[in-house]
Structure 1
Amino acid sequence: MEQEEKLSLDFGNGESYEVWLEVATYPADKNIKVCVFTENEEEIWKLFELTTDMGIPLEKNQTFLLPGYDLEQIVEFIKKNGLGQLKEEICCSGCMEYPLFEFQEETLKKLDPEGYAAYEQAYQERGEVKNPEFQKEIKTADFQWAYGTEELALRVDYYAINQNLYVELYSREDGAWEPFSDLTVNLPGYCLEPGTACISGDFSKENIQFIQEHGLGTLLPWKAQSGMRQYAVVEFHLEELRKFDQAGVAAFCNQHGLQKTMQEERRQSR
């Protein structure tokens, strides 16, 4: 769709792009979604998603910024073009901190009137939300293994090949979160039910103990086979994983069309 106005995005390394924004709506909670596009050699490229979803209904025009890119440059781009302002609140998910952001309504209406109109209608149908609650600290869990106890954070994603659930563990090293190990493994030939995953053979017993101790899933009575090795299979409880990584679980549910299932689980748990 042709945009009324294009913007300039400078990455600070000599790369500058002429870009435009497209406004959409996250299906689970009807929050606003904004993506950045550019054109190169007559092909349209999506540079990145400016926002991310947590499955938490927010106030109008509010969303979480994706911290995976250079956040300072993104914030500078936002300020330069009058797109909105950062709020004081931060939502913790996995081992990342996602800043809350409020878009300037009139600016988005100008940049993508059709996309914003569709978002506004979805927001009105959902209903107004005031003072949403979200996680303010990174949630961790103890992992017992031969070298003692590790305090770990979880990251939830899905594998690109077959979209099976992926769970990664992180430990804190010198104040920074670093990969510790994969909790799951993606085996060829296994396209599993959403939320079910094969458990990594590295520290297999410790991994299963960790899952059971923290109520993350249920061990199934069969094993997956790959080569000469067998792998335990677990049906993860997505609502429990969500307590550790709201953004990761929301993205997984969006990919698999599980938004209504997650909403029902949350209602039952209250």
Structure 2
Amino acid sequence: MEEQKTLGYDWEFGHEELMLEVGAYTYGDRLYIGLCHMEEGRKESFADLTINLPYSPAEQNEAYIDTFAEKSKLNFIRKHKLGKVLPETGYSGYARYRKVAFDLDRLASFDQKGVEKYRKLHEPPKENKQKKRNRGEVR
């Protein structure tokens, strides 16, 4: 089993060494990024970095940041150059969520398989290469 790279995450409760898990939300296929850590020799979820706002505008590489420990998460993104914090925000109810344009190539260096699956999900459909048949028309 290949060992995943970790990144340092500092927040109000101390320092954590975390791994990234990249995927897509089921509803809307938007970018999902989770934070995981090793607990008693097993990989476990630590927190969600992103939140799904399927009705808020976002490009393929953009996502909204979960508000729990938001300041620490934004500092983590900046510190490790995972993406660029954008001025736009998204809303759900009364909550406001910051938007980030993630560097998918940089994310792939931490979760290659997750990013590949995500990119494949967003590939444009391949054209049907079957030749159109002449239906008796003279050209």
Shorter-chain TM-score bucket reads 0.7 to 0.9
Shift in Å at residue 145 of structure 1?
0.5
2:83·2:102 contact (CA, 8 Å) conserved in 1?
A: yes
Aligned to 2:60: 194
Matches of 1:210 and 1:228 in 2, distance apart? 25
Letter in 2 for 1:232: R
Which residue of structure 1 aligns with residue 118 of structure 2? 252
2:30/2:54 contact within 8 Å kept:
no
Structure 2: gaps spanning 5 or more residues: 125-139
Corresponding residue of 1:217:
83
Count of residues paired in the alignment: 124
Describe the SS at the equivalent of 1:172.
Answer: strand
Q: CA deviation at 1:188?
A: 4.3
After superposition, residues 18-167 of structure 1 pair within 5 angstroms as 90=1, 92=2, 137-167=3-33
SS in structure 1 of the partner of residue 110 of structure 2: coil
**AA of the residue aligned to 2:51:** V
Amino acid at match of 2:105: E
Q: CA deviation at 1:144?
A: 0.3
Report Cα offsets for 1:38-83 as digits up to 9, x if no partner: xxxxxxxxxxxxxxxxxxxxxxxxxxxxxxxxxxxxxxxxxxxxxx
How far has the Cα of 1:225 moved from its partner?
Answer: 1.1
- Is this contact kept in 1: 2:21–2:114, CA < 8 A? yes
1:27: which partner in 2? Answer: none
Distance in 2 (CA, whole Å) between partners of 1:145 and 1:174 is 21
Question: What corresponds to 2:37 in structure 1?
Answer: 171
Match of 1:242 in 2: 108
Q: TM-score, normalised by structure 1?
A: 0.45
Structure ID, larger Rg:
1
Deviation at 1:190?
2.2
Q: TM-score, normalised by structure 2?
A: 0.85
Using CA pairs under 8 Å that are at least 6 residues apart, name the structure with larger relative contact order, 1 or 2.
2
Moved over 4 A (4+): none
What secondary structure does 1:201 align onto? coil
**Equivalent residue number for residue 73 of structure 2:** 207
Tell me the secondary structure at the aligned position of residue 212 of structure 1: helix
Specify which structure has the higher proportion of helix. Answer: 1
Deviates more, 1:186-195 or 1:212-221: 186-195
Residues 164 and 191 in structure 1, CA contact (< 8 A), matched pair in contact too? no
